[in-house]
Amino acid sequence: MARFESFAALHIPGNPLILFNVWDAGSARVAAQAGARAIATGSASVATAHGVGDGEDLSLELALANAERVVAAVDLPVTIDFESGYAQDGATLAANLAALAATGAIGCNFEDQVIGGEGIHPIEVQAQRIAAARRGAGADFFLNARTDIFLQAKPDTHDQAKTDAAIERAHAYAEAGASGFFVPGLANLDLLAQVCAASPLPVNFMAFPGAPSAKDVAAAGVARISHGPFPHMLALKAFEDAARAAFAD
């Protein structure tokens, strides 16, 4: 319990936990050496590093094995991007979350998009899925519930209706057992501040090129800032540039 409580305590509205997402044990060690207080993986980065696409194209076995290696590589709490839990039914979902918790991970992202389909799960369905995930993971596990309401919509369509729908999900997800609320794609500071003020859970913002600054989103009330696939994209771009320079010599 102390380990979970210590990680949960890092989520402070206005003074957010910064997570610079990693993809394997080596990148986790680099992040730790750079001063990370916790480690988070990004599913797209992990998938790309394994030569497959995002969206649970990486097998469950490889996802769990990678999580175990990352946990073993650092003396920091590790949260895993577990996408949609690799399951549709509650029993399998609970079993998969139990397996993830057994790797030593302190938490995970768990999203409401329909893997292999379109849109997001109805709020009642996703609440049931979160409850099943909680049963499997146990009480001492930070279940960061992600909604793709904003990510699946163009920024110029982010409006009050979507914000109200996100807030409704924050409450439903909290009641189902979530520990945090992740709203990737939302960059409008006024709408973000509304979500932070109304959410019963600490809110996670995803940074991206051109997004509001960490200072500005902290002022909006964000408690956690993650960087998604962008650290891996930066690493690959640096590698490509160096390779091109080497081949050009």
Both tokens assigned to 137? 């993971």
Which residue has 């990370």 as its token pair? 36
pLDDT of 116: 86
Which pTM value belongs to this model? 0.96
CB-based contact 134:177 (threshold 8 Å): yes
Sequence-separated contacts (24+) of 223-226 with Cβ below 8 Å: 223/11, 223/12, 223/13, 223/14, 223/16, 223/17, 223/180, 223/196, 224/11, 224/16, 224/17, 224/19, 224/144, 224/180, 224/182, 225/16, 225/17, 225/18, 225/19, 226/19, 226/21, 226/40, 226/42, 226/182
Q: Quote the CA–CA distance of 225 and 15 in Å, as a whole number.
A: 10
CB-based contact 242:234 (threshold 8 Å): no
Q: What is the CATH number of domain 2-248?
A: 3.20.20.60
Q: What is the largest CA-CA distance in the chain?
A: 60
Q: Quote the CA–CA distance of 225 and 81 in Å, as a whole number.
A: 14
The values of phi and psi at residue 122, to 5°, are -55, 150
Q: Strand 180-182's sheet: what is its strand order?
A: 17-19, 224-226, 203-206, 180-182, 142-146, 107-111, 78-81, 39-40
Residues ≥6 apart with Cβ < 8 Å to 58? 43, 46, 47, 50, 52
Domain residue ranges of the chain, discontinuous segments joined by +: 2-248
> Helix, strand, or coil here: 246?
helix
State which H helix or E strand residue 165 sits in: helix 160-176
- Burial-class residue 87 by CB neighbours within 10 Å (0-12, 13-18, 19+): buried
Reading the chain (249 residues) residue by residue, the pLDDT tens digits are 689 999 999 999 999 999 999 999 999 999 999 999 999 999 999 999 999 988 889 999 999 999 999 999 999 999 999 999 999 999 999 999 999 999 999 999 999 999 988 899 999 999 999 999 999 999 999 999 999 999 999 999 999 999 999 999 999 999 999 999 999 999 999 999 999 999 999 999 999 999 999 999 999 999 999 999 999 999 999 999 999 999 998
CB-based contact 123:172 (threshold 8 Å): yes
Q: Any idea of the CA torsion for 77, 83, 87, 90, to the nearest 10 degrees?
A: 60
